[in-house]
Structure 1
């Protein structure tokens, strides 16, 4: 065969069949652009906690605490020739259970072959698991909880004859509370006892409130046995008639996307597979009587953490002050004579603080720099990065936005034990690792069906416990409405 003649014949045929090269001829390349990941991985709380490896294997890490009984001490005034009164001492044994956090992955050998030259399929599978692990760890460090929240009280209801379109009827209302772990992954407390509220006319509104549950970040509302919605405050106002069927979850950042299908009759706020995160170390009581770990608030010895609720109200200001932050700071200073070192808050509360303090009757505050750019290239807007703690003598407390903290909750955190003489505290918060984060790869294996293999399985996980050495130095503002 004469290959030159064949080539010429082929070219002649192409020339005869086409009139120039166009986009329709199929002469196109393959654009091997890079693989793009659009998964947000923002884990500031996880990244801020110091980690320490456990030296001994155990189900719990344990330590002892001397608690504040200053107000119970005897009068130190002593008569001559008499012995001084003994200083009282109160010691508690404290423990924190270890918990495992992890995500698995699988990648088949065929997938590795098909991705050859374009991407490392195994590495992508591991990285995806690692990203989800970091997000999950950040969430659990803030909101994991082993013990149950208290059952909410019976809602208090009211109605108005104007302002809405609620039909005249008698409405039966229940509410259940969610931990932050429930907020992210589902579950709640047992539902409260039932409240009953009658409305009249066809222009009514219906309101239900419940006493704030310390440690809860959200509340599920049920009317007539059907799930209606979830709020991040302890109040719900209906301006339209409650639905006669279960509703989808509302559009709240970070909330678990599967709605409850029935009024909860069993508690799922306690998760045996969790360890106690930051909110749990504040909301729980120290166990007594030989029990280990933390227990439901009201059933042990209080941790001393401060909880205050705005009950569905927004921040209010007075001059350059936010009244609710001042009240929280004052309560903490009265308790520990020190200031928190940072505020942990959701984006909603960060925006509210800046909006409130930078607004004025005539509009937003304007800052001009002393040059041309300050007049013809002005940067608008402002953000409050720190807030002055007046109760502690003018200490600035920085604001740290937490993407995995539910809206409506603010935590005043203390990262130092400086307020406690001889406290032996280097870090108030510490992540104790029984097993540090690792990529554990199983042997190549097989299973029946599509994706069965040969495949490579593995998981990214750690076994840890969060230690909070001084819950008394922390405070929580909950049920905050946006400004």
Structure 2
């Protein structure tokens, strides 16, 4: 049959099936719009840490530190004809365990064929795994932790007879602490011993507090044997009667979405598959000999980092000052005679600082441009991008928002070894790589009898890394900060 005959046959078929061409005939085009990805990939801490490939294979990255014992030195005043006293020196062996970070992907040959001409299915699978790797790496660089947190002490409880609707009853309360890694991916310490509080009437409030644990970013609360909620401060106030069943996790940015189903009796705050991230390098102690990396705080040699807990209070201001930042800066200057180079904080704390300073009398100044726009097209609002360190002589310290840092925590870091004479520090922070991030593709695979079984291409994006923090003494943490 020639083409003319085929065209006549087609026209006859259309004529037999419809009386005219309308929108309902199906003669329409296919608008292949863009493939849109709505996955936020914002990883500023990962992007800020230099990467260096290890020259030798090992389970740990290791180095040695000479620590500050200036306050223990002998008086240098020396009598004539006498030898001067020997300068004391204290050396520590430090190590950081390597950990593997990665996400896998699978793409079938059929998926590649069906996407032909529209998208590269294999490239999309790799890109998605890479994006998730970057998010995970940023979280682990901030929050990863190999050693366990201490178990919280029993909650201290109190009640008031007004201000709420808590029913009269006896409430048995326990708390468990979360590392940043637990905050992102689940788990906690063992639950604390039990606190008990009796309330009366029907208009009561119920309050519980546990002593702050350095390195913890959140606390799970259990009432009468049920998971009630998680807070990013070490204090909670109930104004309504706690539910008599397990509750869903609260809406906190970055928190793991699966709620605990029972009171934890085994520790899962230590994650053997992690490496120690920034917060862990500050909260952990150096182990004796250094061969096992960092250990639970209180069981080794202190890292030198400073920790302050606001215990559920918000930042306070005085004129153009944030009192808590001034105190942190003074502590660091007393330790290292220098200023931190940046504050790492969540958007909650960034908003709190801006609101506090710009709301205070004299805290902010409005400038109007001479043009007409300066009067009728004013840009409202303000953001504090840097804070002056008065203790260090007026050094401005940038506020750097970290989307993967748990709310309620601020970390001041010093990226320079300049305060330490002969420091031999090229990078204070370094992502040491045994195996730099790569797309590792396995051989073409199959699994008969199941959907997605193949033929398929499997792979994963991964790295084998450790975070090096050569000077934790130059860092300080404010935790358990409530929003302003």
TM bucket by the smaller chain? Answer: over 0.9
Distance 1:13 1:66 in 2: 90
In the TM superposition, 1:426-445 aligns within 5 A as 426-445=426-445
Asked whether the 8 Å contact 1:148–1:295 carries over to 2, the reply is yes
Name the structure 2 match of 1:271: 271
Name the structure 2 match of 1:461: 462
Name the structure 2 match of 1:477: 478
Distance 2:363 2:63 in 1: 53
In the TM superposition, 1:38-57 aligns within 5 A as 38-57=38-57
Asked whether the 8 Å contact 1:184–1:255 carries over to 2, the reply is yes
**Aligned-pair CA distance for 1:32:** 1.0
Q: Which structure 1 segments of 5+ residues have no match?
A: none
1:120 aligns with 2:120: yes
Name the structure 2 match of 1:387: 387
Distance 2:287 2:10 in 1: 87
1:241 aligns with 2:241: yes
**Aligned-pair CA distance for 1:359:** 1.5
Deviations 1:266-314 (A, max 9, x none): 1101000000000000000000156420000000000000000111011
Name the structure 1 match of 2:151: 151
**Aligned-pair CA distance for 1:15:** 6.3
Distance 2:205 2:299 in 1: 38
Name the structure 2 match of 1:451: 452
Distance 1:86 1:454, change over 3 A: same
Distance 1:237 1:4 in 2: 83
Distance 1:97 1:311 in 2: 32
Deviates more, 1:5-14 or 1:286-295: 5-14
Deviations 1:229-251 (A, max 9, x none): 00000100011111111000000
Distance 1:415 1:362 in 2: 32
Name the structure 1 match of 2:184: 184
Distance 1:425 1:125 in 2: 39
Distance 1:208 1:386, change over 3 A: same
Asked whether the 8 Å contact 1:359–1:365 carries over to 2, the reply is no
Distance 1:429 1:6 in 2: 73
Asked whether the 8 Å contact 1:364–1:381 carries over to 2, the reply is no
Q: Normalising by structure 1, what TM-score?
A: 0.97
1:206 aligns with 2:182: no
Distance 2:442 2:6 in 1: 55
Deviations 1:30-79 (A, max 9, x none): 01111111110000000000011100000001000001111111111111
Deviations 1:295-347 (A, max 9, x none): 00000000000000111011111010000000111111111110000000000
Deviations 1:215-241 (A, max 9, x none): 000000001110000000010001111
Distance 1:370 1:423 in 2: 51
In the TM superposition, 1:19-418 aligns within 5 A as 21-289=21-289, 291-360=291-360, 366-418=366-418
The two structures, once aligned, show a CA RMSD in angstroms of: 1.7
Deviations 1:383-422 (A, max 9, x none): 1110000000000000110000000000001000111111
SS at match of 2:354: helix
Asked whether the 8 Å contact 2:43–2:138 carries over to 1, the reply is yes
SS at match of 1:302: coil
**Aligned-pair CA distance for 1:154:** 1.1
Deviations 1:410-446 (A, max 9, x none): 0001000111111111111011100000000000011
Asked whether the 8 Å contact 2:320–2:360 carries over to 1, the reply is no
Aligned residues: 483
Distance 2:108 2:26 in 1: 33
Deviates more, 1:108-117 or 1:285-294: 285-294
